[in-house]
Amino acid sequence: MADDTNNNPQAPRFTEKLKCWFSWSWTYVCAIWLAMLLTMIYVLRSPLKLQETVSAASVFLNTLTPKFYVALTGTSSLISGLILIFEWWYFRKYGASFIEQVSVSHLRPLLGGVENSSSGDLFSSVNGDTEHRPTVSECKVWRNPLNLFRGAEYSRYTWVTGKEPLTYHDMNLSAQDHQTFFTGDTQQLRPEDSVMQKAWRERNPQARIRAAYQAIKLNHECAAAYVLLAEEEATTISEAERLFKKALKSAGKDTNLLVYIRRRLAMCARKLGRVKEAVKMMRDLMKEFPLLGMLNIHENLLEALLELKAYADVQAVLAKYDDISLPKSATICYTSALLKARAVSDKFSPEAASRRGLSTAEMNAVEAIHRAVEFNPHVPKYLLEMKSLILPPEHILKRGDSEAVAYAFFHLQHWKRAEGALNLLHCTWEGTFRIIPYPLEKGHLFYPYPGCTETADRELLPSFHEVSVYPKKELPFFILFTAGLCSFTAVLAMLTHQFPELMGIFAKAFFSTLFAPLGFFADKMESFMPSCLLHQPARL
């Protein structure tokens, strides 16, 4: 099949032209058909006995009893109610209207709409920036590379507001990470390792801290215990840094511990204002452990470089990690958009752009924003402060609201620092949704947006936060229409049952008014049509 298509390239072009012509001419064909139908009705009015039919319908309506109208409205209300129940069930299960799905799937292609592409086309982009479907689950959660310190930051929020910023599910994932990351490779657990295994699983923070001190009593060089104390007992970043340095001396040759501790030390330096030192520590980590790309240390590096306004270095990091074969993240996509927006945003004006059109640089910036928004559509509302921020969770779901919170929490200041960048984002980000095909069975630059993000985000984000949902599952038109029709017929049925004679008079008047124009129009057509044409059906 592929060879036949390649050998005859004119075949798809001819098919496309034929469908385009069919779509263009559809309106005119319908108009001509309707005109011919009306002409034939009035030309053949004698064999059809149109006037006699209208008169018979009027007599029939006059002979109907109120019981008929009661039965008619009751039956109509029942049928519309059954349709509404089925539509609602289908919407709750599949997130779309059944009637709308049938219309889009079967009628839209006939009218020249977008066709369903093959599975191979779902992941291809327009400009060649192809994003492959990941081999892991779409709703796999990742460790937040910029997660805060529990004692110095998360606990401080709890003291001030009385709200818990972390969910139990999120903390349980962190406990599993610590168990496997720090003691998973040990062939035989030492006594202090067994204590720390239990410490990570404790739900009470004080119980975890007591277990860490117990492990230190068993071994004064228990690095994992110092890590826990730095994360949870230290109430300031300076105190956390001191404990991490003590843990670094006790880490030995444990690669996992070394990488974790040095990364957190770099984050401490970043939070304490020693940004250049933090950048050097992150670069050294990436050089020494190039195979640990899954830890996403480059995202910490990007944020620190943006703080230094080292935009050339940021671009160099993006050139390495914004690769077609590597998984994307909101940090990569939105940082790329920020750099391109920064080049034109200071002089950008929506009014001027609408008059003269977009320049090449402005077009590149807009396309980068569209690309970022398609990857994670939740971020703009946080950057534009249309939605309030909260502390980021310890785990994030890529393309989800949790990732958007984590990105905006650290990068909002960098967008504000670039003059006009937020204005350009505000003017262009919603245009992304006009590019993405509907329904969301395929993407534009990325694979289709996963529909399971809402459930995972609700487990990662605290209950007091309103989770952002995309696409918004609004009630389709056909469900609203069916609900209105069901309610209207139900009211009619009730009124007909209560006032049968009055509703019967109203129904007869309504139908008489409905059929009256047909008889009037037939008389007018008879006076205007040529006599030979009017009498032709009789001769036939």
Look at residue 477 and tell me if it is in a domain.
yes
Which single residue is written with the structure tokens 């696409």? 471
Q: What is the pLDDT of residue 282?
A: 95
Region label for 358, one of left (φ > 0), alpha (ψ between -120 and 50) or beta (otherwise): beta
The chain-wide mean pLDDT, for the chain, equals 79
> Closest Cα partner for 443 from 142, 135, 119, 140?
119
Look at residue 333 and tell me if it is in a domain.
yes
Q: What is the pLDDT of residue 114?
A: 42
pLDDT band at 464 (very low <50, low <70, confident <90, very high): very high
Give mean pLDDT, residues 225-232. Answer: 94
Most confident of the following: 290-299, 309-318, 503-512: 309-318
pLDDT band at 534 (very low <50, low <70, confident <90, very high): very low
Q: What is the pLDDT of residue 263?
A: 95
Q: What is the pLDDT of residue 503?
A: 74
pLDDT > 90: percent of the chain: 40
pLDDT over 90 at 373, yes or no: yes
Give mean pLDDT, residues 363-377. Answer: 93
Give mean pLDDT, residues 404-430. Answer: 94
pLDDT over 70 at 325, yes or no: yes
pLDDT digits (tens, 9 = 90+) for 21-60: 656 565 666 778 777 777 776 666 566 555 666 666 666 6
pLDDT over 50 at 529, yes or no: no
pLDDT band at 103 (very low <50, low <70, confident <90, very high): low
Give Cβ neighbours of residue 210 (< 8 Å, ≥ 6 apart): none
Q: What is the pLDDT of residue 376?
A: 93
Total number of domains constituting the chain: 1
Look at residue 61 and tell me if it is in a domain.
no
**395 near 460, Cβ under 8 Å?**
yes
β 141-143/395-397 pair status: antiparallel
Report the range of poorest mean pLDDT among 252-266, 299-313, 438-452.
438-452
Q: What is the pLDDT of residue 259?
A: 92
Look at residue 363 and tell me if it is in a domain.
yes
Tokens of 301: 């590096």
pLDDT over 70 at 105, yes or no: no
Give Cβ neighbours of residue 136 (< 8 Å, ≥ 6 apart): none
Runs of H (alpha helix) within 346-386: 350-356, 360-375, 379-383
Give Cβ neighbours of residue 41 (< 8 Å, ≥ 6 apart): 48, 50
CA distances, 386 to each of 333, 381, 526 (Å): 20, 5, 65
Count, residues in the chain: 540
Global pTM reads 0.67
Amino acid at 225: A
Look at residue 426 and tell me if it is in a domain.
yes
Q: How far apart are CA 369 and CA 148, in angstroms?
A: 28
Look at residue 433 and tell me if it is in a domain.
yes
> Closest Cα partner for 262 from 239, 240, 285?
285
Q: Which residue has the higher pLDDT, 508 or 119?
A: 508
Torsion sign, CA atoms 5, 9, 14, 20: positive
Give Cβ neighbours of residue 491 (< 8 Å, ≥ 6 apart): none
Report the range of poorest mean pLDDT among 60-64, 103-107, 116-120.
116-120
- Structural domain of residue 459, as residue ranges? 321-488
HEC string of 266-302?
HHHHHHCCCHHHHHHHHHHHHHHCCCCHHHCHHHHHH
pLDDT over 80 at 369, yes or no: yes
Tokens of 13: 């072009």
Q: How far apart are CA 531 and CA 540, in angstroms?
A: 15
